[in-house]
Amino acid sequence: MIEMKPAVKLPTTGERRMVTGDYAAAWGAMVSRPQVVAAYPITPQTMIIEHLAEFLAAGKFDAEMMRVESEHSAMSAVIAAEATGVRAYTATSSQGLALMHEPLFVSPPMHLPIVMSVVNRTVASPLGIWVEHNDTMPQRDTGWMQIYVEDGQEALDMVLQGYKVAEQPLVELPMMIGMDAFLVSHTIESVDLISQEDADAFLPPYKPVHAYLDPQRPMVVGAAAPPEYIQEVRWETDLRMRRAAEFLEETDREFGRKFGRTYGGMIETYRLEDADVALMTLGTVTSTAREVVDRLRAQGERVGLIKLRSFRPFPAERLQDATAHLKAFGVYDRAVSYGVGGPSYIEARNALYDTTTMPILSFLAGLGGRDVTPQDVELMFKKTLAAAGRGRRASGVHWIGTRGVSP
Amino acid sequence: MTTVKDLPREDYFLSGHTACPGCGGAMVVREVMKVLGPNTVVYMPASCLLIFSDMYPYNAFKVPSLQILFETSAIAAAGVKRALKRLGKDDTTVVAFAGDGGTADIGMQALSGAAERNEDILYVCYDNEAYMNTGIQRSGTTPFGAWTTTTPLGSTSEGQGKNEFKKDVPRILMAHDVPYVATASLGFPADFLKKVDKAKAKKGFRYLHVLAPCPVGWRAESDSTVDLAKLAVETGIFTLLEYEDGVLTLNREPRFTPVREYLKLQGRFKHLSEGQIASIERWVKDKWERDRALAKALGPKPKVPVAIVR
Amino acid sequence: MAAQALAVAASHDGYSAIAFPFFGAERRGAPVLAFTRFGEERLRVRTQVYEPHFVVVLDESLVETVDVLAGLRPGGMVIVNTTRAPDRLVLSKKAKSATVDATTIALKHTKQAAVNTAMLGAFAKATGLITLEGVEAGIMEVFGRRLSKEIADRNVAAARAAYEATRLGEGDSGRVYAKATKWLPTAQELPPGLATPPMETPFGRVGVGSSPSNLTGGWRVNKPVLDGAECTNCLLCWFYCPDGSITRGEKIVEIHYEYCKGCGICAAVCAPKAIHMEREIEEEVKA
Ligand SMILES: Cc1ncc(C[n+]2csc(CCOP(=O)(O)OP(=O)(O)O)c2C)c(N)n1
Ligand code: SF4
Ligand code: SF4
Ligand SMILES: [Mg+2]
């Protein structure tokens, strides 16, 4: 007979139900009370907007819902709504996000704190509908904050936290919340559906501080500008991205005090304190990696894990502190910057350049939605362990689970 | 109803903008703003208008204005309107002023979407018949035969000016069955003001297509703007029409002044061959035949009972 | 285009040359900046020119608001389109000067007030660095290729006439300019996201409704003049003026010149011909 441990009681403040990640994100959006929602369907994001439409139809939710004709328009509509002075929400994925690339650049300099759920899905070609981070990673320099979550609960909680951080008058930057296609979006799990009351207590109504459109208090919002002004705007946007780091940490702590769940802020660590080597992961692979860490620990390997939650702002200082004692560091990515390696590997190497000479390895796996198995993750740890103490020369890019390519 | 004499002295689109001397686009915006008044929010896409009225730190509008992208006029205006509604300011007019390129070409998708959803905005296309801001490139509404920098002159069939006829954007909007579609010309102030008035008063998606001669791009004298706007109508080249609740009205039977009278004032047509001019004459004739038939055919739109369950 | 034509001319004459416009909100008639560098060696600096050897001023009215000699090198020269003799120029400092009435020449030869090609002829004469043949080559290349041979020919004629008519001398000092004319707040002072309400700055209003800070009257070549006795107060000029430069009075309209760009529309729409256009000659008030 199989022995089972008694179930752990999870903190619950609202109603706990078995729902998909898309449902959780839609719920998070609903209780954040956006005044305008504009979206366009794309697998695997569709359920988010379907659920919002159901909430609306049932009278649970009250907002202007714009069923627009493209993602370009969805993003433009929420930009315009935020510029007018209301909270706005949208969600997309993959090709949709790529189509939004142009309007993505608009809101960060203009102080428009939009929140958007992005179901991470591979971008063609070839066309696929499964998880890859090559939709969000290329949006790195648009000025959006970028968070990666691991499960449905985090997808929900981050919408609320997202608005709170994004709307800080010292931040006023938009945030995209990446959730892995199917592995989060379509996976049913137990989620604490935060009540409207609790959400309201955590997230006050939006009051635009700097930009709004009101004939009683006229303002120019959006302008063409000569070189005399643009560089200062860039600097100021950069400053706000740097400032956002502190608010991400603080908001997560505050959320924890209220709801009994925290996510560690920009990074979360697992069994890292006495580890010799560690792997950094983002998205759902993190869950699998925790399991692998436990297994390897049981075999006597001193390994640990860092979950990268915030890709922008990038948690350089926290990473420096967290990795100071390591002998080697592996970085897992679900996207490739062709010819160089994984995007977060590039960032990590940059962040750690001043503080370490240990080898830093790039691991690419699970592209196009291929499963990343515990064996794959174990191999990443093994390779990192083998590189321990060998200095920067042992760094390199490893394709895990690619037929015909030795890892 | 507003006539020239009843127009307010007050301007909401101010002097000091940097449009070229004699710019028809600037005239359109100035007059429309006089009618719309202070309770208005303006959207501008990338265009001559943006550059001549919203180059930081200056701005020529007395009312709030928004600018984000080139192809987003209809959707951005719609987003503003939806938000204003939530803020209890449904009485504020939201107007988008867009060029022909931003309307007929790159902005058509968002325009069609907003029209189909019957977003409560006023969309004004000031049609100067080319991409003027980027230096006179052809657009979907550039007329047949016109020289532009992307339809330059040369000895081949590619060197005779634009080889295609003007895209009929108002007809595309009519197919969306929106509450109001009208064309207007600066040459006919009473008709123009009547239409702006009506467009302001209605709810839902309203589309105004205004011919806005551009002395620079049309290679014409800067004082010929109004004459050109008149002649475009009197030659039958530009039709004054109105589409309201499914009924199409042709507002003015032109004199059918020979098209040459219009063409000869504009350097962009200087190279036209007799054959090309004959094609334009033919096009005018066919267009009027078709539009008359269309006006006859388009009756009031069927009243579909809409049940709202609460 | 004149800066480009000058670069082509310099290149034709054997120099290494580059030219580029400061790409601003360039509309017809609006003040613009363009730069040409030429020399015997290969040019490497690709920036705006801050310390020119020569300044060519296409529109005399600019010298009232812009210190055109601000960066001029010692021994440098200013070449101005004006009806005035070089010795009658009053600028911020004494400087070698050349003048030519390029507007009249351009109107005569090209039927337009576009003086850039005429000023190339003046440049050739004043500096002696570029040949008239070079200038012709420049005009042919830049104007002939883009517009037509006929237009290029007329412009060449204008350049030749200007070459002959250019006078040399020395301008006087004494004109005083405001130190800075532009609002250049720090990154911290700029309105966040450039979202700007109507704001007063030491350099005038910015933000909503601020375009009147920008006096466009200086663009004008011809100015409208009203004969009040003929005005029937039909208000068409008031309606049509794209620059809002005409106001309504009790019985007749009134024309204002701060923003009037001289398009001539008011005159064209005036049925009783109460408005006519006149060539505007700068009346210099000695500073
Ligand atoms: C996506 C995109 N493509 C191209 C441009 C460049 N662009 C700016 S304005 C313009 C032409 C505008 O033409 P039109 O809409 O007719 O307005 P006009 O300038 O003629 O008044 C173009 C092509 C842009 N801003 N954005
Ligand atoms: S190019 Fe034409 S449309 Fe643009 S500002 Fe000049 S006259 Fe107006
Ligand atoms: S010339 Fe007449 S119409 Fe043109 S800007 Fe001056 S006052 Fe206005
Ligand atoms: Mg145009």
Query: Where is B27: in which H helix or E strand?
Result: helix B24-36
Per-residue confidence band for B310, with pLDDT thresholds at 50, 70 and 90: low
What is the predicted pLDDT for the residue at C41?
83
pTM surpassing 0.90?
Answer: yes
DSSP state of C92: S
Residue B110: give the domain boundaries. Answer: 24-298
Residues flanking ligand 3, CB < 6 Å = C 224, 241, 243, 245-246, 255, 260-266
A268: which 2 tokens?
A: 């979360």
In this model, does residue C285 exceed pLDDT 50?
no
Residue B219 domain flag: yes
What is the predicted pLDDT for the residue at C111?
84
How distant is the Cα of B200 from the closest Cα of chain A, in angstroms?
16
What is the predicted pLDDT for the residue at B146?
98
Residue B151 domain flag: yes
Number of other residues whose CB lies within 10 A of the CB of residue A57 = 10
pLDDT one-digit tens code per residue, A224-261: 999 999 999 999 999 999 999 999 999 999 999 999 99
A299: which 2 tokens?
A: 């075999």
B82–A36 CB contact, under 8 Å: yes
How much is the average pLDDT of C147-174? 89
Number of domains in chain B: 1
pLDDT one-digit tens code per residue, A360-375: 999 999 999 999 999 9
How much is the average pLDDT of A298-309? 98
B100: which 2 tokens?
A: 């022909």
| Paired sense of beta strands B247-250 and C16-21, if any | unpaired
How much is the average pLDDT of A95-114? 98
Q: Is the dihedral of CA B272, B276, B282, B287 positive or negative?
A: negative
**A4 vs A349, residue with greater confidence:** A349
Residue B117 identity (one-letter amino acid): R
Per-residue confidence band for A174, with pLDDT thresholds at 50, 70 and 90: very high
Residue of B nearest to A33 (CA): B86
How much is the average pLDDT of C239-253? 96
Q: Which of A64, A215, A218 lies closest to B82 in CB terms? A: A64
How distant is the Cα of B265 from the closest Cα of chain A, in angstroms?
33
Question: Which chain C positions have a beta carbon within 8 Å of A218's beta carbon?
Answer: 197-198, 208-209
| Paired sense of beta strands C95-100 and C199-201, if any | unpaired
How much is the average pLDDT of A140-161? 98
Between the CA of residue A323 and those of A92, A275, A333, B100, what are the distances in Å? 34, 9, 18, 57
Q: Which of B166, B79, B157 is nearest to B125 (CA)?
A: B166
What is the predicted pLDDT for the residue at C20?
82
What is the predicted pLDDT for the residue at B214?
98
CA of B213 to the centre of ligand 2 (A): 8
In this model, does residue A203 exceed pLDDT 90?
yes
For B243, the 3-state DSSP assignment is strand
In this model, does residue C180 exceed pLDDT 50?
yes
What is the predicted pLDDT for the residue at C19?
86
Query: Where is B275: in which H helix or E strand?
Result: helix B274-297
How much is the average pLDDT of C94-119? 90
**Any idea which residue has 């948690």 for tokens?**
A315
Q: Which ligand is nearest to the CA of C25?
A: 2
Per-residue confidence band for C59, with pLDDT thresholds at 50, 70 and 90: confident
Question: Which chain C positions have a beta carbon within 8 Å of B20's beta carbon?
Answer: 27-30, 261
**DSSP per-residue string spanning A244-312:** HHHHHHHHHHHHHHHHS----TTEEEES-TT-SEEEEE-TTHHHHHHHHHHHHHHTT--EEEEEE-EEE
The answer to whether residues C145 and C64 touch, using CB atoms and an 8 Å cutoff, is no
B5–C269 CB contact, under 8 Å: no
- Report the neighbours of C using a cutoff of 3 or more CB pairs below 8 angstroms: A, B
Mean of all residue pLDDT scores within chain A? 96
pLDDT one-digit tens code per residue, B55-78: 999 999 999 999 999 999 999 999
Per-residue confidence band for C25, with pLDDT thresholds at 50, 70 and 90: low
Residue of B nearest to C190 (CA): B57
What is the predicted pLDDT for the residue at C287?
37
Going along chain A from its start, the domains and CATH numbers come out as 15-259 (3.40.50.970), 267-399 (3.40.50.920)
pLDDT one-digit tens code per residue, B157-176: 999 999 999 999 999 999 99
Q: Give the dihedral of Cα atoms C161, C163, C167, C168; nearest 10 deg.
A: 170
What is the predicted pLDDT for the residue at C286?
41
Going along chain C from its start, the domains and CATH numbers come out as 2-171 (3.40.920.10), 215-279 (3.30.70.20)
In this model, does residue A290 exceed pLDDT 80?
yes
> Residue B94's domain is classified under what CATH number?
3.40.50.970
Residue B129 Cα: closest atom of ligand 1: 16
Q: A interface mutation test: which of C194, C203, C213 has the most A CBs within 10 A? A: C194
CA of C25 to the centre of ligand 2 (A): 11
**DSSP per-residue string spanning A315-326:** -HHHHHHHHTT-
C194–A223 CB contact, under 8 Å: yes
Tell me the residues of A at the C interface, defined by beta carbons under 8 Å apart. 109-112, 172, 209-212, 217-226, 228-229, 232-233, 235-236
Per-residue confidence band for B1, with pLDDT thresholds at 50, 70 and 90: low
Q: Which of B38, B54, B76 lies closest to A76 in CB terms? A: B76
In this model, does residue C43 exceed pLDDT 90?
no
**C23 vs C51, residue with greater confidence:** C51
DSSP state of A122: P
pLDDT one-digit tens code per residue, B91-120: 999 999 999 999 999 999 999 999 999 999
The answer to whether residues C30 and C219 touch, using CB atoms and an 8 Å cutoff, is yes
For C109, the 3-state DSSP assignment is helix
Residue B4 domain flag: no
How much is the average pLDDT of B246-267? 97
**C111 vs A312, residue with greater confidence:** A312
pLDDT one-digit tens code per residue, A77-104: 999 999 999 999 999 999 999 999 999 9
Between the CA of residue C10 and those of C7, C17, C125, C144, C163, what are the distances in Å? 5, 6, 14, 17, 16
How distant is the Cα of C193 from the closest Cα of chain A, in angstroms?
4
What is the predicted pLDDT for the residue at A135?
98
C79: which 2 tokens?
A: 């070449």
Q: Which residues pair with A268 in a beta bridge?
A: A307
Residues of chain A with pLDDT > 90, as a percent, come to: 94
Q: Which of A142, A42, A133 is nearest to A96 (CA)?
A: A42
